Structure 1
Amino acid sequence: MQKPLILLTNDDGVESPGLWAAACALAVVGDVTIAAPLTQSTGAGRSMPHFMNGRIERRVRDMCGRTWEAYGVNGSPAQAVDHAILELMPRYPDLVVSGINYGENVGTGITISGTIGAAMEAASFGIPALAVSLQTGIQNHLSHSTEVDFSVAAHFTAYFAQCILRSGLPGDVQILKVEIPASATPETPWRVTRLALHRYYVPYSTRRGGLDEEAPLGYRVQVSPDEVPKDSDIYALLYEHVVSVTPLTLDMTARYPLHSLEAHLRRDQMG
């Protein structure tokens, strides 16, 4: 029987320990092809930067008792997905896994995330996608810190990958977004959540001088439990400390009756 074909990618780069933790966990689930950005691409969303040249480097790594060949793509996370599907894989994968990310991706900022962006790009091909992120301190978001333990997140990555490969995704669910609390163990409960309509990472200015100085924006977590619904991803992760599983779809059409919107917009013409 043919093993499932899995594409593994991320936005932290092909050398990320989170990526390799996922690779080792997924190796028992299916045949894994690894294709990820050559460089750190956090915050790239689903972007397709024209200045990326698409060059692909092979990387060989000995991990978890086997030798892996991975591909580092000079491109964004979404571009890495495209190059892998179009140039590196023998057929469309049965599943695309994006992660494991340094840092949680919750609330209305998820479209900023390269982790989610890669999953969205996979979904646009009609391929089920799984995006996995581990709650970490902001100081680790751009790091490849080996002090971050991805073992529990890897456990849940394999678990939900098996769920999708076994049963598919129902209805208009195209992506499962999974958030792992920093305190989680393999026994931590998980529950299905909705995306919180709340900004989780709030930007702030670091500028102290003139407009010509370098002053990249900073960001901080800013939320309180009374601001977010109890059935949301933020509440589950931050206040209940359970694994949050959020179904996502590429259909961003507002859930409002189209005829009612048309009537609203034409109201002035009806005078």
Structure 2
Amino acid sequence: MTNERRVLVHADKQSLAGSVAARFITKTVDILDENDVATVVLTGGSVGIGVLEAINASAARDTIDWKRVQFWWGDERWLPRGDSERNEGQARSALLDHIAVPPGNIHAFAASDDGVSLEDAATAYATELAAAAPDGDDYPRFDITFLGVGPDGHIASLFPHMNGIRETESSVVAVHNSPKPPPERLSLTRPALNSSERVWLVLAGADKASALGLALAGASRDEVPVAGIKGRRRTVFFVDKTAAAEVPSNLIAPSY
């Protein structure tokens, strides 16, 4: 099995979201032609949610048999269920509430008002992942995992120099004292993210250029967490021109 790591550059944030949405629809249809189920890991952030909005707006949206798609999240903010800053709520508004996906196919993290502790919520999500996994694995077969990238190179809620990026045993971690608010979060770990067949990192803006350049130049995952992310089959960075300013030219691909 080949493993590619490529950067696809788009003119601006809008064309970036539209292109990723179109690729997602095409790839998911292909996955469902070969498998009974497609399993997708969602992300938050303005660009990640923008991609979901573009999927929803696409005329080809319902070429996907949404009843056969399972949705998980790479991370979540430890906030009340109805808080507008929760990744789950944003994804529902952008796409999930508009498609024919069964409620049981949507695997959201617990919320801060669910009556459980942050640690118990992490354990519960890990248990849910394992229950959906084949052959006693720790997590399902993730077909496509979306990730954003912070200016500091963080992915999901795995931040530089914090224990989360170093975790190798658990599939989910409780995050305390996040450098980005809110301070408490839940996140899949690097092994769980790297179990994905395809990791699609979607980022825009000049403030992301340094982190992306460092990651592709071989920075350590502790310094720049995105440097430690690589899908089993393919890792693609979908970026706008400003985010691509420090990407080595040999990694920029005209198509994928």
TM-score under structure 1 normalisation? 0.27
State the structure with more CA Rg: 1
Query: Larger relative CO (CA 8 A, sep 6+): 1 or 2?
Result: 2
Q: Which has the higher strand share?
A: 1
Q: Please identify which structure carries the higher helix content.
A: 2
TM-score (norm 2): 0.28
